[in-house]
Structure 1
Amino acid sequence: MVTPAAAAQAPVELPLRGLGMLLPMEPPTVRTAVPVPVPGTPMGLGARGGGEVQPVTVPQAPLSAELPQTEIAAPLPALAEGQEVERVQLTTPASPLRAVTPGATVGSPLTLPRGDSLGLPGVELPRTGLLAPTLTGTVESGLGLVRPRG
């Protein structure tokens, strides 16, 4: 679920107009935005059932953002007479992105108190584990030729 704050983006247009003095044609244009990631509630913190001692956990932190729409357009030089194509354009639509940071868990080296040892806890090797990071999203793109207006 994308919150309204996750849809916030900072627009960016790359300043390539200076290339017009170096290139024998109009410079390409690049328009996009920088997504503002929104952190979510850390995952993996909570009570464990089964009478176990709570392990020490480095929680996973989810982040969500909206990948911005991006447009890249470059002029095509007239290679043939009567050419009806003016520019080539690459676009990517906006799409949601969700990432989860890596995490870790380390169990307690002590067991619950036992009756056979006068109520004292036992000692055991702690269980450890790493929680893998994830990245979920969809990236699409479209490439096309643009005809002149008119």
Structure 2
Amino acid sequence: MKPTTRGTLAAVMTGVVAAVGAAAAAPAVAADTVPIPVPLNGLEQALNLRAPKIAGQLPVPMPGAPEGPRYVEGRLLPDRALPQLPLAAGLPGADIHTPLPHILGHGFDHLGVGAPAADLRTLTPGLALDAPLTAPNPDKSGLPELKLPQAAVLAPLLKTVPGANLETGSGA
């Protein structure tokens, strides 16, 4: 799979999980999340029916320490002139539990979707440059020689393992 395809797939999956997490979610699983309850008590009283229980959690991004520039022999500029910044957070979580009317009898059945917050590790893009001059050459009275300049963009990184549970059954 090409890196652009992987990046696009990761962006789509992140968007889908974020949309599900924004719609509804559960109590905080990780210590670095903020719980977001969705109060629907007024709906139960106004419509006289059992409302779904919806809760969510949003991750709090925590920046890490960037890996500093590395000096390489034979180069005038350090490697990774613009270092990659690591970020650790999580994907939003969701917990939706809704009652369904039981068609053939009394009581309720329920449908539940649980998507707990998943760890997410990222690295921002970085930049590596090299000057169009070599190191001083002792054979030429300490003058540097010309060479082609070099520039490279360090690709961003995205690592996560999202999961979800779908359940149905009798009960509230």
* TM-score, normalised with respect to structure 1: 0.77
Q: Match for 1:137 among 160, 164, 167?
A: 160
- Which residue, out of 109, 132, 142, partners 2:132? 109
Gaps (5+ residues) in structure 2? 1-29
**Partner Cα separation in structure 2 for residue 17 and residue 123 of structure 1:** 74
Say what the alpha-carbon RMSD is for the aligned residues. 2.6
Tell me how far 1:36 sits from its aligned partner: 0.9
Aligned-residue offset at 1:14: 2.4
Quick check: 1:66–1:96 contact (8 Å CA) kept in 2? yes
Relative to the length of structure 2, the TM-score reads 0.69
Q: What's 1:3 paired with? A: none
* Identical columns (%): 36
Partner in structure 2 of residue 47 of structure 1: 71
Equivalent position to 1:76, from 81, 96, 100: 100
Structure 1 residues 78 and 7: CA distance shift in structure 2, 3 A: same
How many pairs does the alignment contain?
142
| Alpha-carbon offset, residue 61 of structure 1 | 0.5
The residue aligned with 2:147 is 124
CA distance in 2, matches of 1:24, 1:104: 60
Kept in 1, the 8 Å contact 2:36–2:56? The answer is yes
Structure 1, gaps ≥5 residues long = 1-5
8 Å contact kept, 1:7–1:66: no
Query: 2: distance between equivalents of 1:16 and 1:129?
Result: 52
**Separation in 1 of the partners of 2:129 and 2:47?**
59
Does the C-alpha gap of structure 1 residues 125 and 78 become closer, same or farther in structure 2, counting only changes over 3 Å?
same
Q: Name the structure with the higher helix share.
A: 2
Q: Which has the higher strand share?
A: 1
Letter of the aligned partner of 2:156 in structure 1? P
